[in-house]
Amino acid sequence: MNSTMNIVFMGTSDFSIPALDMLLERGEKVVDVVTRPDRPKGRGRKLAASPVKKFAERKGINIFQPINVKDESFISKLRELKPDIIVVVAFGRILSKEILEIPRFGCVNLHASLLPGYRGAAPINWAIINGENMAGLTTILMDEGLDTGDILLQKEVEIEEDDTAESLHDKMADMGAELLLETLHRLREGSITPVPQNHSQATLVPIIMKEDGIIDWTKDGAQISNLIRGLTPRPGAFTYLHGKIFKIFRCIALKGDSKGITPGTITEIEKEGVRVSTGKGFLLIKEVQLQDHKKMGVADFLRGHRNKITVGTVLG
């Protein structure tokens, strides 16, 4: 692929940035960046730009923020840009047939799963929550469906025992940028053949909601640990301590006989953490955040809240 290829990049979240950065570092001609409109954020509800907009501004790239990607004025603008290819990474919108037909090489999407598995939002989170040992990356030639286009290239990514959604996200974002560059290069030289997905094997994962983070202490320790890792740092898995939201960010699942102990009961308090009974085994809690307080290690938390957390306290 040479620098005469006109690229329109569509992205919104942090996951998009390594791919956009690598395109620029390799001297590719990114003629426009498309991202979502600024949104109210925080207690003050001030308008905040997407991570991709902030990055593009620093790089001096032209930015477009359509309210509706189906709007004819936006589609006309894309036609005027005459992109050879549209690259889509964590954009968060489904593109219409009109847009898909604009670039001569089509629209290429980088998705953070081994399609057809884990189509949809938050595949990284759900892979960890579901206890998968392997995640992956896929580039597809987009069609009008949700992550249903023909597969171009794929790469497996091992999920390590201590991976959180944050660490796996960062690792996959960097690896995904490399896979995307290889995909574009091979599309240009004609050495890649799109392969239809086996739709009968497809799985769909939803957007992560706050209520997905509620810890069910009757589940076994490994399942709870997966939930905590899969929701760290956002939105965070949580339980309740004396009626207040008690988020858990770091823990270790421990084997042991927890029969006869009410799930969620604090059974031991030590420097390394707080041990809690589960439906099968125990969970050693190491990093927490009590409602209206900062995130902190258990040792620091205990120093300020010793009267609130004692052996026999039941979480939930």
CATH number assigned to the domain comprising residue 278? 3.10.25.10
124 and 12 housed in the same domain: yes
Please report whether residue 300 resides in a domain: yes
Residue 94 is inside which H or E element, if any? none
* Nearest CA among 178, 87, 175, 97 for reference residue 136: 175
Question: Across residues 6-19, what is the average pLDDT?
Answer: 97
Q: Is the pLDDT of residue 45 over 90?
A: no
Distance CA 11, CA 20 (A): 9
Q: Which two tokens stand for residue 187?
A: 């599309």
Q: Is 232 helix (H, G, I), strand (E, B) or coil?
A: coil
- 47/109 same-domain check: yes
Q: How confident is the model at residue 305 (pLDDT cuts 50, 70, 90)?
A: confident
> Within this chain, do residues 69 and 47 fall inside the same structural domain, yes or no?
yes
Query: Tens digits of per-residue pLDDT, 247-283?
Result: 999 999 999 999 999 999 999 998 889 999 999 999 9
- DSSP for 270-289 reads ETTEEEEE-SBSEEEEEEEE
pLDDT confidence tier of residue 43, bands split at 50, 70 and 90:
confident
User: How high is the mean pLDDT of the chain?
Assistant: 95
Assess whether 126 and 231 both reside in one domain.
no
The answer as to whether 180 is a domain residue is: yes
Name 155's Cβ contacts closer than 8 Å, sequence gap at least 6: 136, 137, 175, 179
- Predicted pLDDT of residue 301: 94
Kindly list the distances between the CA atom of residue 290 and the CA atoms of 68, 137, 308, in Å, as whole numbers in the listed order. Answer: 39, 35, 11
**Residue 40 belongs to a domain with what CATH number?**
3.40.50.170
Whether residues 87 and 214 fall in one domain = no
Looking at the structure, tell me whether residues 223 and 301 fall in a common domain: yes
Q: Which residues contact 231 (CB under 8 A, 6 or more apart)?
A: 125, 129, 165, 208, 212, 213, 237
Same domain, 228 and 145: no
Rounded to an integer, the average pLDDT of 3-18 is 92
C-alpha distances in Å from residue 254, one per residue of 220, 224, 263, 283: 10, 11, 14, 6
For residue range 20-32, list pLDDT tens digits in order: 999 999 999 999 9
Q: Tell me if 315 is assigned to some domain.
A: no
pLDDT at 272: 84
pLDDT exceeds cutoff 50 at 1:
no
297 — pLDDT class (breaks 50, 70, 90):
very high
Please identify, among 165, 186, 205, the residue that sits at the C-terminal boundary of a domain.
205
Q: In the chain, pLDDT over 70 holds for what percent of residues?
A: 99
Report how far residue 259's alpha carbon sits from residue 247's, in angstroms, rounded to the nearest whole number: 25
Helix ranges (H only) for 63-122 are 72-81, 97-100
- Residue 306 pLDDT exceeds 90: no
7 φ, ψ (degrees, to nearest 5): -120, 130
Share of the chain above pLDDT 90, in %: 93
**Which among 162, 186, 205 is the end of a domain?**
205
Q: Domain tally for the chain? A: 2
What digits encode the pLDDT tens for the residues 74-100?
Answer: 999 999 999 999 999 999 999 999 999
Q: How far apart are CA 37 and CA 227, in angstroms?
A: 31
171, 205, 239 — which closes off a domain?
A: 205
Q: How, if at all, do strands 46-48 and 85-89 pair? A: unpaired
Domain assignment present for 226: yes
pLDDT score at 258: 95
**Same domain for 260 and 187:** no
- pLDDT score, position 4: 66
Task: Find the domain containing 283 and state its range.
Answer: 210-305
Strand extents, DSSP E, 57-149? 63-64, 85-89, 107-111, 119-120, 134-141
**Whether pLDDT at 190 is above 70:** yes
Residues 233, 157 share a domain: no
Please report whether residue 313 resides in a domain: no
92 occurs within a structural domain: yes
At 197-216, the pLDDT tens digits run 999 999 999 999 999 999 99
Residue 225 lies in a domain: yes
Residues 186 and 163 in one domain: yes
Do 82 and 228 fall within a single domain?
A: no
Q: For residues 194 and 267, state if they share a domain.
A: no
**Residue 316 located in a structural domain:** no
Q: Give the pTM.
A: 0.95
